[in-house]
């Protein structure tokens, strides 16, 4: 289907040296886009160009956009994937962890999208933004208060920025993964096999997701096949959020 092609398109994917971000960057590249990757640390396995910075640092997002447009002046796709989890149980949470969560997961993508959109508007070009949210944006999880709140904020950010940028032909959508096997989640899953089994029993498709499961959704939303879609969240969760109780135990 030609409308799924991303030929002659260019994308920046934040947090794309591993996990979901790496899979998305690979998927965009396989669909024809020129991809600028971003990460916190260098790795020989990541194709160039790869821009390094810690997005928790003040003004890091502006510097990242400057370098990304230098590497690819025709950039017209932005995937905001960088984010992380810093929670402790609610009664133990402190302001430092709260601020770090909101800085990286909410403030950084907001201003990154603003700077990206300003450049496209100045050049009178349309484009596409995909925010990587989570099922935690609509379903709370134990000992995950700040993270859950940040992902809920991204769900509304998708809608309100879609309203703001529609007049400029810039679409904003969200991909919200469920439980995905990544370098961030694997240690947690390996340490709690009983909880993983519980998740698998409640996921309609019967398995934990992989980063590649998110890539196709992102490619679709960035492509012309989704040219009439904006302000929407696409859940990539194997059906986890489709049911109230889950599958019956056997």
- The predicted pLDDT at position 44 comes to 63
For residue 168, the model assigns a pLDDT of: 98
**What is the block-wise mean pLDDT of the chain (250 residues), using blocks of 10 residues?**
88 96 97 96 79 90 94 97 96 98 97 97 98 97 96 98 98 97 89 88 93 97 97 97 72
Q: Which two tokens stand for residue 201?
A: 């029993």
pTM score, two decimals? 0.94
Q: Would you please indicate which residues are annotated as catalytic (active-site) residues?
A: 147
Domain ranges for the chain: 2-181+208-237
> Which of 212, 52, 80 shows the shortest CA–CA distance to 151?
80
Rounded Cα gap, residues 80 and 166, in angstroms: 18
Q: Quick one: pLDDT at residue 88?
A: 96
CA distance 38 to 127: 19
pLDDT of residue 22: 96
At 249 the pLDDT is: 55
What is the number of alpha carbons within 13 Å of residue 53 lying toward its C-beta? 19
Output the pLDDT for position 33: 98
> Is 3.40.630.30 the CATH classification of the domain at 2-181+208-237?
no
Residue corresponding to tokens 């919200």: 176
Q: Which pLDDT does position 250 carry in this prediction?
A: 54
Q: What is the pLDDT of residue 58?
A: 80
pLDDT value, residue 62: 87
**What pLDDT sits at residue 246?**
67
CA distances from 167 to 3, 62, 137 (A): 22, 23, 27
């Amino acid at each position: 289907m030609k409308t799924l092609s991303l030929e002659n398109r260019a994308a920046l994917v934040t947090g794309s040296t591993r996990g979901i971000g790496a899979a998305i960057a690979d998927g965009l590249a396989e669909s024809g886009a020129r991809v600028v990757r971003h990460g916190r640390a260098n790795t020989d396995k990541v194709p160039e160009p790869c821009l390094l910075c810690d997005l928790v640092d003040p003004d890091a997002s502006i510097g990242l956009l400057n370098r990304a447009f230098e590497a690819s002046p025709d950039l017209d796709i932005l995937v905001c994937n960088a984010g992380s989890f810093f929670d402790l149980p609610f009664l133990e949470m402190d302001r430092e962890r709260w601020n770090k969560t909101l800085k990286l997961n909410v403030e950084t993508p907001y201003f990154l999208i603003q700077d990206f959109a300003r450049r496209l508007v100045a050049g009178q070009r349309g484009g596409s933004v995909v925010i990587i949210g989570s099922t935690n944006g609509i379903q709370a999880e134990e000992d995950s208060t700040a993270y859950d709140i940040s992902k809920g904020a991204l769900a509304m950010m998708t809608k309100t920025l879609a309203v703001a940028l529609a007049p400029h032909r810039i679409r904003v959508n969200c991909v919200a993964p469920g439980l995905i096997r990544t370098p961030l989640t694997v240690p947690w899953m390996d340490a709690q096999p009983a909880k993983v089994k519980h998740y698998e029993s409640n996921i309609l498709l019967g398995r934990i997701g992989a980063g590649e499961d998110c890539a196709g959704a992102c490619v679709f939303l960035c492509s012309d096949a989704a040219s009439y879609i904006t302000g929407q969240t696409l859940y990539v969760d194997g059906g986890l959020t489709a049911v109230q109780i889950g599958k019956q135990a056997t």
